[in-house]
Amino acid sequence: MEARNAGQAAFGVVAECHARAALDRILADSQFHATERHRKLLRYLVDEFFAGRSGQVKAYTIAIDVFGRPTSFDPATDPIVRVEASRLRAALTQYYETAGEKVGVRIELPKGNYVPHFVASDRSPAPAEGATAPAETASEPEQPVAVASVAAQPKRRPFGPIAAAVAGVAAMAGAFYLSVVERLPWQPVLSAKPTIVIDVAAAGGAGGEEQRKAGDYLVHALSQFSAVRTLAQVPAAGVDVASVTGWVASAPPVKLQGSKEYRLSVAYSADVHEHQVSWQVVDTQSNEALRAGTAKAALDTGDARTVQERLLARLARSLAGEEGVIVSLEAARQLVTPSIGYGCVLLADVALARLDAEGLASAHACLEKSVTYQAADPDVLASLAMVLVATGEASTSPTVAARAVKLADRAVALAPQSSQSYLAQMQARFVSGDTEAAFLSGRRAAALNPLDDAIPARLGLLLFVSGQYSEGVSLARVAEMGCEYLHRDAALTLALEEYRNGKYREALTRARELANPADTAVNLLRMAAAGQLGLTREATSALDGLRWSKSGKPRSIESELAARGYAPDLIALLDDGLGKAGIRLAALH
């Protein structure tokens, strides 16, 4: 231990201004024989270091940010980053051997990671500002790397008045540095899922019993949705909601935004004719009423308990469902104050619901950053797995498909009671070809949260396209009955069923309602139904959208549908309609 401390004591800390000046000198020096790619890589590594993001720099991020590789890049199969980093090291070594003593600060890139070291004069390597060097184990063999620490102390000497004063100033400077660095703009803001505190109005007599039952069932219903945390009562003053709900900060030093708290005020009433629930969502910090509503249900539709549960289940879906009130409020907040963690999950939810290509790309990048800081967050892992499937990367790359399965499996292991984790596992397993295991995961998700209509909608579509038509349609009908707005996957299943049964006009009407230029499946259905009806112009319009959405992808639509798990007879039916429109699946690129 003493030897290690002595070694650290010899290291010096290079100021950022000197390090950047050294970077500018070497990039401008004709004696630095490096390609433009190597120069770009060197500047990127230095910039990321002084932005405080070296911990996030991996072979994958370099490939995307510096070398322009697609997001499907796999460092395990493509060694470009490792090769180019080795060449950059060689170019740096050659330059410093040639430049000799005229160099005041050397920039070195030790093997085993992508964190630059800055060496003043003939001192040992010392990273500026005392950062640590995380190993890039996935790309290069890990080797021991000496890292300087700002807190490393020289050998003990007798403490005189001057030395004590200097030490005091240094301590004050260190404290000031730490207080400032926590507020630097590059530090990630980590957000957590919101907390809903249920506040049911008190009442006496029989009314009070109904209120109590309503409150208990509403807590139960909301707790099944993974998008929110639920508390049954308002916590005492001064209690941290994040700690009450079990939120635990991640290990990396990040600025924590925490869990936004909403109060749900509920008044429930019942008589011999109908049940009524009035609700209001309030921001607990500003006491501002954000949303409010009233819903009624007549008792002639069932017994009192069934009516109450149906009414409150609908309220829970409208608050915490895929496009619920709380989710929408949080998504709007994410636009104003971007964050990683739950904020990225929200971005993904919105992009997945709309099949927005740009939104999915943004969510993908955001989730990858979140994984760096929240490697054990099941919501982040599940969301990333679903994005990899939705972008089509998992269906085109076995490596990406395997990663999606691994992420989803990890999410399930961390949150075995989360329907969202099993939903991600279902989609990842399906795209990897393990359909039976996928359906088991989907059924598990439905059992965990029978109130979420998105689950039967997604499971039903996968069952349907794989050839299990009857069960797929049944689940789509369940989703149709359970929600105010029919989920896209349920609507597509019902449209495909209309087409399969020869009801082409009904299928076309449903497909038009789902029109989205980025939705390959819907555009194909529109084209096929229009072809069956002899509507050439309609088919051409859908074809234009399909070509736009498939820009840059070399394989045929037939291959893509097969990769998405479509049954051969369903593909043949679609091909028949396309043929009547003068289009063939294999000819579309």
> What's the CATH number where 487 sits?
1.25.40.10
Same domain for 248 and 389?
no
Same domain for 230 and 280?
yes
Same domain for 422 and 553?
yes
Q: Which of 195, 174, 312, 189 is nearest to 255 (CA)?
A: 189
Domain that holds residue 90: 2-130
HSE (CB half, 13 Å, CA atoms) of 518?
13
Name the domain count of the chain.
Answer: 3
Same domain for 359 and 326?
no
Distance CA 468, CA 480 (A): 19
User: 8 in a domain, yes or no?
Assistant: yes
What pLDDT sits at residue 122?
A: 54
User: 7 in a domain, yes or no?
Assistant: yes
Cα R_g (the chain), whole angstroms: 29
What pLDDT sits at residue 509?
A: 92
What pLDDT sits at residue 258?
A: 61
What pLDDT sits at residue 155?
A: 37
Q: Which of 494, 550, 562, 540 is nearest to 517 (CA)?
A: 550
What pLDDT sits at residue 80?
A: 84
Distance CA 285, CA 279 (A): 18
Q: Which of 317, 298, 188, 163 is nearest to 253 (CA)?
A: 188
- Joined tokens for residue 211: 């209120």
Same domain for 102 and 194?
no
Q: Which of 527, 531, 496 is nearest to 510 (CA)?
A: 496
Can you list the residues of the chain whose pLDDT is less than 70?
1-13, 100-101, 121-188, 202-208, 232-258, 301-302, 482-484, 517, 544-556, 585-589
What pLDDT sits at residue 204?
A: 56
Q: Which of 99, 100, 105, 95 is nearest to 15 (CA)?
A: 105
Q: Can you give the three-state secondary structure of 508-572, one letter per residue? A: HHHHHHCCCCCCHHHHHHHHHHHHHHCCHHHHHHHHHHHHHHCCCCCCCHHHHHHHCCCCHHHHH
What pLDDT sits at residue 302?
A: 65
Q: Can you give the three-state secondary structure of 324-385, one letter per residue? A: CHHHHHHHHHHHHCCCEEHHHHHHHHHHHHHCCHHHHHHHHHHHHHHHHHCCCCHHHHHHHH
Distance CA 373, CA 367 (A): 10
User: 342 in a domain, yes or no?
Assistant: no
Same domain for 396 and 539?
yes
Helix (H, G, I), strand (E, B) or coil at 54: helix
User: 463 in a domain, yes or no?
Assistant: yes
Distance CA 124, CA 6 (A): 12
Same domain for 280 and 387?
no
Same domain for 462 and 396?
yes
User: 335 in a domain, yes or no?
Assistant: no
User: 324 in a domain, yes or no?
Assistant: yes
Distance CA 24, CA 583 (A): 57
CATH of the domain at 247: 3.40.50
Across 201-308, the runs of DSSP E, i.e. the strands, are 229-231, 255-270, 274-283, 289-298
- Among residues 103, 130, 157, the one where a domain terminates is 130
> From the DSSP assignment, how many helices (H) and strands (E) are in the chain?
25, 8
- Among residues 315, 330, 345, the one where a domain terminates is 330
Same domain for 208 and 294?
yes
CA 79 and chain centroid, separation: 26
Residue 404 has a CB neighbour count (10 Å cut-off) of 27
User: 340 in a domain, yes or no?
Assistant: no
What pLDDT sits at residue 286?
A: 85
| 214 CB-contact burial (10 Å; exposed 0-12 / middle 13-18 / buried 19+) | buried
Same domain for 409 and 461?
yes
What pLDDT sits at residue 388?
A: 94
What pLDDT sits at residue 446?
A: 93
User: 34 in a domain, yes or no?
Assistant: yes
Q: Are 218 and 250 in contact (CB under 8 A)?
A: no
CA 454 and chain centroid, separation: 18
Q: Are 113 and 78 in contact (CB under 8 A)?
A: no
Same domain for 365 and 483?
yes
What pLDDT sits at residue 244?
A: 40
Q: Which of 570, 375, 380 is nearest to 464 (CA)?
A: 570
Residue 209 has a CB neighbour count (10 Å cut-off) of 12
What pLDDT sits at residue 484?
A: 65
Helix axes 325-336, 342-354, angle to 10 degrees: 110
What pLDDT sits at residue 253?
A: 39
Same domain for 372 and 301?
no
Distance CA 292, CA 319 (A): 11
| pTM exceeds cut of 0.75 | no
